[in-house]
Amino acid sequence: MSDRQTSGTDARRAAVALLDKVLGEGLLLAECQMQVLEPLAAADRARAQRLTLETLRALERADRILQKHLRKPPALFVRNALRLGTVELCSGGAPHGVVNDIVNLVARHRRHGKLKGLVNAILRKVAEDGPAEWAKLRVPRLPKWLRSPLAQAWGTEAMLAIEAAHFRGAPLDLTAKPEADLSALAGAFTPTGSFRLVEAGQVSALPGYDAGDWWVQDAAAALPARLLNAQPGERVLDLCAAPGGKTLQLAAAGAEVTAVDLSEGRLGRLRENLARTGLVAAVVVGDVLEQVGHYDAVLLDAPCSATGTIRRHPDLPHAKDGSGFGELIELQAQMIAHAWSLVKPGGRLVYCTCSLLPDEGECQIEDALEMFPDARPGEGVKALPGIEPGWLTEEGGLRLRPDYWPDSGGMDGFYMAELVKSAE
């Protein structure tokens, strides 16, 4: 077997294992991919991640293709192997290599190896007829627990456009230091100032990575720190800071940054990026609600449903069911109230979530403006570059959705707003 075939086998085996954990155990990829992918070479890890994400995005289509070949669903491992093979075959994968690899994976399974003949027969049929059928199928739908509130919030047409954006996936965006030269990278700047790569490849091999010139950050996720507009020497508190893209932005602006997060593990990535970029911030492991002091500016990227990041994390709809959103919304309100107490008179708070649900965005700021008599909406959202008027909201915030910029790669769903505290 050639090195190339070995690589494909290892990546596909890992991808099926990840699918089993997401679809069988209800885990998020972030919770399980390290364990599964760690033994693989870098190229195989990247390929396994890509195959897993592509299969999760296209799961509904794969099941539609497979249903006519199956009298009843097989065991999850076999079903996921078939799903992976179907997505590859219907997306231009070489039939011989894909079919042989998937059949061998099933054949080596101690419980399901006897089904290798069935898998071989089904995938050969899919290789013949699947691509033509694939092109006729509708865009995969979101689960009902999310589809309904999105349609209610933004309308059916927008909800369908969001689903289409999720299916397309996401490009890779970079945020650069102000003095960085990105001319060696293949890509272009977005209207909001992020740098969007034409093709990502291995991130750590890209020009400027080792020099710490930039970091990976979606164009939408880069806007809250720009909205805060930290000035050199200002004392800034970044709450729920990990994995740290916003901390890096604030530090690059010259602010004295304190980054707080409850997760020691996630803060490890922040420390690594600070070291790589040569930027400085105080890193604190702690609960947002226990922080004390007064700051010129506070950025609160509150825990949320993360529904705005599904195009990047298609595992999320399979690992969540919406049942915990009420507790999240209550926690967000508590965090906003405490964060406001940490803002100096005349200072400002930027609140943001990577959620598509108004209850986690617009509604929270409406409530905050009623709760805090010394708060007013900031005007910074109107000064951000590349912002279209229709993205501004009634209470003074900024609503971003995955279906914006449809012809140039879209953006994550985000909400953000600035509150300014009275100087008196």
The answer to whether 411 and 257 have CB atoms below 8 angstroms apart is no
Q: How many Å apart are CA 314 and CA 307, to the nearest integer?
A: 10
Average pLDDT estimate for 119-134: 96
Q: How many Å apart are CA 399 and CA 223, to the nearest integer?
A: 11
**Virtual CA dihedral for 330, 316, 267, 11, nearest 10 degrees?**
170
Band (pLDDT 50/70/90 cuts) for residue 1 is very low
Band (pLDDT 50/70/90 cuts) for residue 137 is very high
Band (pLDDT 50/70/90 cuts) for residue 154 is very high
Residue 284 has pLDDT above 70, yes or no: yes
Q: What is the pLDDT of residues 353-396, one digit of tens each?
A: 999 999 999 999 999 999 999 999 999 999 999 999 999 999 99
Residue 402 has pLDDT above 60, yes or no: yes
Place of tokens 């294992």: 17
Residues 280 and 410 in one domain: yes
pLDDT at site 5: 43
Strand runs (DSSP E) across 155-293, as ranges?
Answer: 173-176, 187-189, 195-197, 214-216, 235-239, 256-261, 282-285
pLDDT-wise least confident of 42-51, 212-221, 403-412:
42-51
User: CATH number, domain at 354?
Assistant: 3.40.50.150
Q: How many Å apart are CA 402 and CA 120, to the nearest integer?
A: 38
Total count of residues recorded for the chain = 424
Residues 236 and 349 in one domain: yes
Band (pLDDT 50/70/90 cuts) for residue 4 is very low
**Virtual CA dihedral for 351, 354, 360, 361, nearest 10 degrees?**
50
Q: How many Å apart are CA 116 and CA 323, to the nearest integer?
A: 39
**Quick check: is 353 in a domain?**
yes
pLDDT at site 153: 96
**Quick check: is 225 in a domain?**
yes
Residue 8 has pLDDT above 90, yes or no: no
**Quick check: is 198 in a domain?**
no
- Examine the fold and report which residue of 134, 166, 193 is the final residue of a domain before the chain moves on: 134
Residues 226 and 91 in one domain: no
pLDDT at site 25: 94
pLDDT at site 7: 56
Q: What is the pLDDT of residues 212-249, one digit of tens each?
A: 999 999 999 999 999 999 999 999 999 999 999 999 99
Q: How many Å apart are CA 31 and CA 208, to the nearest integer?
A: 29
Catalytic one among 32, 304, 352, 354? 354
Residues 115 and 221 in one domain: no
Residues 20 and 125 in one domain: yes
**Quick check: is 26 in a domain?**
yes
Catalytic site residue 90? no
User: CATH number, domain at 51?
Assistant: 1.10.940.10
**Quick check: is 30 in a domain?**
yes
Residue of 233, 279, 240 whose CA lies nearest to 259: 240
- Examine the fold and report which residue of 119, 134, 149 is the final residue of a domain before the chain moves on: 134
Strand 343-353 and strand 375-377: the pairing is unpaired
- Examine the fold and report which residue of 117, 134, 151 is the final residue of a domain before the chain moves on: 134
Residues 273 and 367 in one domain: yes
Number of domains in the chain: 2
As given in the structure block, the two tokens for residue 136 are: 């006729």
**Quick check: is 356 in a domain?**
yes
SS3 (DSSP) at 287? coil
As given in the structure block, the two tokens for residue 225 are: 């720190």
- Give the torsion sign (CA, 315, 316, 319, 321): negative
> Which domain range does residue 323 map to?
217-421
Residue type, 361: G
**Quick check: is 157 in a domain?**
no
Residue 38 CB: number of other CB atoms within 10 A?
A: 9
Average pLDDT estimate for 395-399: 98
How many alpha carbons fall within 13 Å on the CB side of residue 66?
Answer: 26
Q: How many Å apart are CA 122 and CA 66, to the nearest integer?
A: 8
- Percent of the chain at pLDDT > 90 equals 92
Residues 119 and 223 in one domain: no
Q: What 8-state DSSP symbol labels residue 392?
A: B
**Quick check: is 296 in a domain?**
yes
How many alpha carbons fall within 13 Å on the CB side of residue 29?
Answer: 22
Residues 390 and 260 in one domain: yes
pLDDT at site 321: 85
Average pLDDT estimate for 199-221: 93
